[in-house]
Chain A
């Protein structure tokens, strides 16, 4: 019985990985997507940092948080509605794996893409600006957990029962930009008022930014273990509405 359970687990993990690799090939490793992954964070960074007196380390910490946030959910919200429309999602839903396995595979691909692009941003920071990383292990853990959390957040929108990618564009964009402005990316947590800070604590991006500050600058406002825990827990929690919406989709016929 135990062996059977382990075999099933091995199969499910392998199937999730198969979905990840397929999505990577079909949707992410495309010239347009790669260009987006490389350029978008820099545009974002320069948009919010020009004419500001900012140290290179501070800039890289901010760049990493922004890159993770925007690239992890860059395509995720739109892939599932598009696959539903093309009928390819049925192939995945009918395959021998649980819904959670499928969603983990979909989450992993967004997370891997975010890790890849933020690694590129990091290399630019280290090689071009001579930035030192204060706590490398925190950086690695923060990038992995941040990417997982943001990718899972994007998947919530992809799980809305619809076949039209346009239906998820507006809510997904609204939420992401909303989170961007309430999180401690542009105004540090220490400079925020009580209400603004209370709002900031709702956003997982706040914890990712704080973690990047710990990793790159060597200090942040919150306990790094709290940051890591919140990112992991939020990633897991974000999967719950995705599962529920998929179940609703199965009732409705999506």
Chain B
């Protein structure tokens, strides 16, 4: 399979190379033609910095980016022609109408004159903005601006589309519409580079994901393989009555449970072996005369994988000793940490 993007030893240091802040630290990966590639990481991990280097907006300190076979630092023009960019903040011209925004971008990308109007109309209709085509973007909602921003990024039918956090802050309907659009564009052959910290979004959309943390690639693989590699973060979820919320510490202390996390009216108990833990949870409920409202076993979610790799545990009652960087290093070694 052909690679659309190849990244070698990409590094960005803000400030002096020897003493500055290392935002991206010698990362290697490739994005295959036709895939949706997710780039996940916590805030400040280096996601947007990497994307800005891939889209020529930021000069790397070190390393090489080859896109469509062109070295980006020396021959960006043919790459830019085939590339679309949707930044985190919808960067539409608020003083222009939706129609004028699209016409401007179409002209900037030299879309054929005969094609411009029909393409703009098609996009505005698909994005539910046709009725608002003559309205200035300053009167648009956040979701409408985001949709317009995406329409502007794809009016020239790019072969590669970069999306930076496309859905946060949007209502459920707008978020879903954008996810559907990403699927549709990908089905039509567009390679998608999706930067996100929305793990479930990456899980739903991406063929492969890279997890970046502290400027380094911690893991790259398909979501399912990443989850399979983390069988030790399987869990048992239990809701108890009465006073179910009070049993977290005791549940976490059950043999086989590594961590307990309160999830609304339930407790999620992380374990390497759910089959051993399940009967112990039932025994605990019987012993304390509690009613088991619900009990289920769960495989590791991509969020669990992400949290394990990045060393984040939200709402944790008990942490395993030794979690964190050394474990992530082990994971990086296991997953290849690159191509």
Chain A residues in contact with chain B, CB under 8 A?
8, 11, 14-15, 18-19, 22, 25-27, 86-88, 90-98, 247, 250-253
B215 interface contact, C-beta 8 A: no
- The answer to whether A25 touches B96 (Cβ under 8 A) is yes
Q: Report the Cα distance A8→B96, complex, angstroms.
A: 28
- Mask, B95-136, CB within 8 Å of A = 1, is 110001000110111100000000000000000000000000
- The answer to whether B58 touches A96 (Cβ under 8 A) is no
In this complex, the interface size class of chain B, counting residues with CB under 8 Å from chain A, is 20 to 34
**Within the complex, what minimum Cβ distance (angstroms) separates A154 from chain B?**
20
**Within the complex, what minimum Cβ distance (angstroms) separates A3 from chain B?**
16
- The answer to whether B109 touches A96 (Cβ under 8 A) is yes
Q: What chain B residues lie within 8 Å of A25 (beta carbons)?
A: 95-96, 100
B81 interface contact, C-beta 8 A: yes
User: Can you list 26 A-B pairs, Cβ within 8 angstroms, ordered by A?
Assistant: A8-B77, A15-B108, A18-B107, A19-B108, A22-B93, A22-B104, A25-B95, A26-B96, A87-B87, A88-B92, A90-B85, A90-B91, A91-B85, A91-B91, A91-B105, A92-B108, A94-B80, A96-B77, A96-B80, A97-B80, A97-B108, A98-B77, A251-B58, A252-B14, A253-B14, A253-B52
Given A18-B104, A93-B56, A250-B59 in contact, is the A87-B89 Cβ separation under 8 Å?
A: yes
B260 interface contact, C-beta 8 A: no
- The answer to whether A94 touches B83 (Cβ under 8 A) is yes
- The answer to whether B107 touches A94 (Cβ under 8 A) is no
- Known: A15-B107, A88-B91, A88-B92; 17 extra A-B contacts, CB below 8 A, are A8-B77, A14-B110, A18-B107, A26-B93, A26-B96, A86-B94, A87-B90, A88-B93, A90-B57, A90-B85, A90-B87, A91-B105, A95-B108, A96-B108, A98-B77, A250-B59, A251-B59
Q: Report the Cα distance A247→B212, complex, angstroms.
A: 27
**Within the complex, what minimum Cβ distance (angstroms) separates A112 from chain B?**
17
Q: What chain A residues lie within 8 Å of B96 (beta carbons)?
A: 22, 25-26
- The answer to whether B91 touches A87 (Cβ under 8 A) is yes
B190 interface contact, C-beta 8 A: no
Q: What chain B residues lie within 8 Å of A97 (beta carbons)?
A: 80, 108
B55 interface contact, C-beta 8 A: yes
Interface of A is mostly: helix
- The answer to whether B95 touches A94 (Cβ under 8 A) is no
**Within the complex, what minimum Cβ distance (angstroms) separates B162 from chain A?**
9
**Within the complex, what minimum Cβ distance (angstroms) separates B191 from chain A?**
16
Given A25-B95, A94-B57, A253-B52 in contact, is the A15-B85 Cβ separation under 8 Å?
A: no
Q: What chain A residues lie within 8 Å of B87 (beta carbons)?
A: 87, 90
Q: What chain A residues lie within 8 Å of B110 (beta carbons)?
A: 11, 14-15, 96
Q: Report the Cα distance A132→B94, complex, angstroms.
A: 44
Q: What chain A residues lie within 8 Å of B93 (beta carbons)?
A: 22, 26, 88
Q: Report the Cα distance A86→B96, complex, angstroms.
A: 14
Q: Report the Cα distance A152→B58, complex, angstroms.
A: 24
Q: Report the Cα distance A251→B16, complex, angstroms.
A: 11
Determine the residue in chain A with the shortest Cβ distance to B85.
A94
Q: Which of A15, A88, A94, A247 contacts B55 (CB 8 A)?
A: A94
The 8 closest A-B pairs by CB, nearest first: A87-B91, A96-B80, A18-B107, A96-B81, A250-B59, A88-B91, A26-B95, A87-B89
Given A18-B104, A96-B80, A96-B109 in contact, is the A250-B91 Cβ separation under 8 Å?
A: no
- The answer to whether A93 touches B95 (Cβ under 8 A) is no
Q: Which of B83, B94, B108 has the most CB of A within 10 A?
A: B108
Q: Report the Cα distance A15→B156, complex, angstroms.
A: 14
Q: What chain B residues lie within 8 Å of A87 (beta carbons)?
A: 87, 89-91
Determine the residue in chain B with the shortest Cβ distance to A250.
B59
- The answer to whether B58 touches A250 (Cβ under 8 A) is yes
Q: What chain A residues lie within 8 Å of B57 (beta carbons)?
A: 90, 93-94, 250
- Mask, B44-72, CB within 8 Å of A = 1, is 00000100100111110000000000000
Q: Report the Cα distance A91→B149, complex, angstroms.
A: 10
Determine the residue in chain B with the shortest Cβ distance to A8.
B77
**Within the complex, what minimum Cβ distance (angstroms) separates B291 from chain A?**
54
Q: Report the Cα distance A97→B105, complex, angstroms.
A: 13
- The answer to whether B14 touches A18 (Cβ under 8 A) is no
**Within the complex, what minimum Cβ distance (angstroms) separates A246 from chain B?**
11
Q: Report the Cα distance A25→B107, complex, angstroms.
A: 15
